[in-house]
Amino acid sequence: MAEIVSVTGGKVLGTREGGVTRFLGIPYAAAPIGPARFEAPRPVEAWSGVREALEFGPTCVQSPYPPPIHALIGSDGIPGDEYLNVNVWTPDHTGSGLPVLVWIHGGAFVRGSNARRIYDGTAFARDGVVVVSVNYRLGISGFAAVPGSASNRGLRDQIFALEWVRENIAAFGGDPGNVTVFGESAGGMSVVALLASPRARGLFRRAIAQSANGSAVATADDAGKVARQLADLLGIEPTASAFGRLGPDELRSAQDSLALALMTDPDPDRWGASIIANGLGIMSFFPTIDGDIVPDCPTDVIAAQPDRTVPLLTGWTAEEFRFFTFPSGLAAGITDRALPHLLARYGLDPSVADRYAANRPNATPADVFAAVLTDLVFRDDAMRIAESTAAAGNPAYVYEFAWRSVIADLGACHVIEVPFVFDQLAAAHTLTGPNPPQSVADEVHRAWVRFATHGDPGWSRFDTTTRTVRVFDAPESHEVADPRPDELRALRRAKLTSSASV
């Protein structure tokens, strides 16, 4: 059955099936092509008549994931100019006052889209929540610090999309005063950046940061170094006008070449210390401290300015970094001899491995490496942000997703919780294996619905004394007070020792 809604720009036609209406590929901003690719987002151009919103919209230019990752989660890439678009799922667009979830996808700030099957919002709408999933500028388009361009364009797009939600979500039955922003990986990092950004204040009531951190930011000087390296690679001047003349294929090729150059030669003198340390050799484009959209390191801003906090749900998967080490074959090269050098490269005193190995008597060096990096990149910052939120008097809820995939020795790896959150297990068997537990999806999905609806996911609040964490697993989930505190203490000492020695 067809349904029509009026939004900024004009009327859109969606489809209703099984009690859920979906509207796909609605542009929330003008198409950022040519020089506009490097400018702040602008209002969408109005259209006449009724625009069909029946298919997913275009995505920002990107290359497919490398084969091991592509086999697990697929890749994205729908061509077209109007890639600043949103999808909306609603149980009742004629109603009012429904809670709203706004999804920001991951992909290391260079890949991903709102069109992925495991991001389908049908189950949330089935359970009474309006879902909006957002596309934003990625890679060079969204985050290259090109002189003369608007900074942090990808984050500006997210803020612009949240403003679109505030102005339009009532037309879909949603409550603009009850918006929860949520995201995973780079999307979760975006959520933390939005928490700290003065430009995003008042645009959402609650936040969910999945597998995120608030430390993945570059200094302006270091981001400028990357932009100059990029311009040299392309043979152009490092100006917004020169970059604005590039087409999608040139941008895609340049992004890939730069990522390869950075991984091959991770020299801080060439790229900048913050690019190497905070990008972890995985990300070449990510948010830049600009004193405006990103005033400083988000984790530090949230700690120093309690008024930036909102009710928070945050957590990690128990073995995040296996996603980056085992499918690629990197794990095979992590030996007893190599482990200390790898940890030092990530700015850690190698002795931190002793604590993690002692707690895992049968672990290989690759297992220990993945455990340390999981905490370094994800758990430590999640706990710090939860600590700041609780200390400010806002509710904080923390989880660890511990159910283990049987695919490619992934375990409880990065991304594994996403299809459980969306209750889309049938779309995720290449990641989870053929028989993931529906009972865990029921529990996790219900917790996200509860948090979006009234701010309580259904387990004990985190505070700085008990530090309660909900562990999702099968056959039974449970609460733990301050899991593995000895490892987190050792990690923080290892970072302090390393910093003191530089």
Token output for 46: 């109005």
Is 387 catalytic? The answer is: no
Between the two ends of the chain, the Cα-to-Cα distance in Å is 64
What is the distance between the alpha carbons of residues 204 and 215, in angstroms, rounded to a whole number?
A: 21
What is the distance between the alpha carbons of residues 446 and 455, in angstroms, rounded to a whole number?
A: 12
Contact of 13 with 21, CB cutoff 8 Å:
no
Phi, psi angle pair for 297, to nearest 5°: -55, 120
What is the distance between the alpha carbons of residues 22 and 29, in angstroms, rounded to a whole number?
A: 19
Q: Among candidates 119, 141, 149, which has minimal Cα distance to 132?
A: 119
Phi, psi angle pair for 388, to nearest 5°: -65, -40
What is the distance between the alpha carbons of residues 229 and 294, in angstroms, rounded to a whole number?
A: 23
Q: Which amino acid is at 96?
A: S
Residue entry with tokens 């009850």: 178
Catalytic residue among 82, 163, 184, 320: 320
Is 478 catalytic? The answer is: no
| CA 252 to centroid of chain Cα atoms | 21
* DSSP-assigned beta bridge partners for residue 13: 4, 52
Contact of 40 with 156, CB cutoff 8 Å:
yes
What is the distance between the alpha carbons of residues 331 and 50, in angstroms, rounded to a whole number?
A: 53
Catalytic residue among 215, 284, 405, 414: 414
Contact of 383 with 217, CB cutoff 8 Å:
no
Is 185 catalytic? The answer is: yes
- Angle at alpha carbon of residue 488, lines to 483 and 490, rounded to 5°: 135
> Who contacts 38 (Cβ-Cβ below 8 Å, separation ≥6)?
141, 146, 148, 149, 150, 153, 240, 243, 244
Catalytic residue among 133, 185, 190, 211: 185
Taken in order 471, 329, 209, 14, the sign of the CA dihedral is: negative
Residues annotated as catalytic are 185, 320, 414
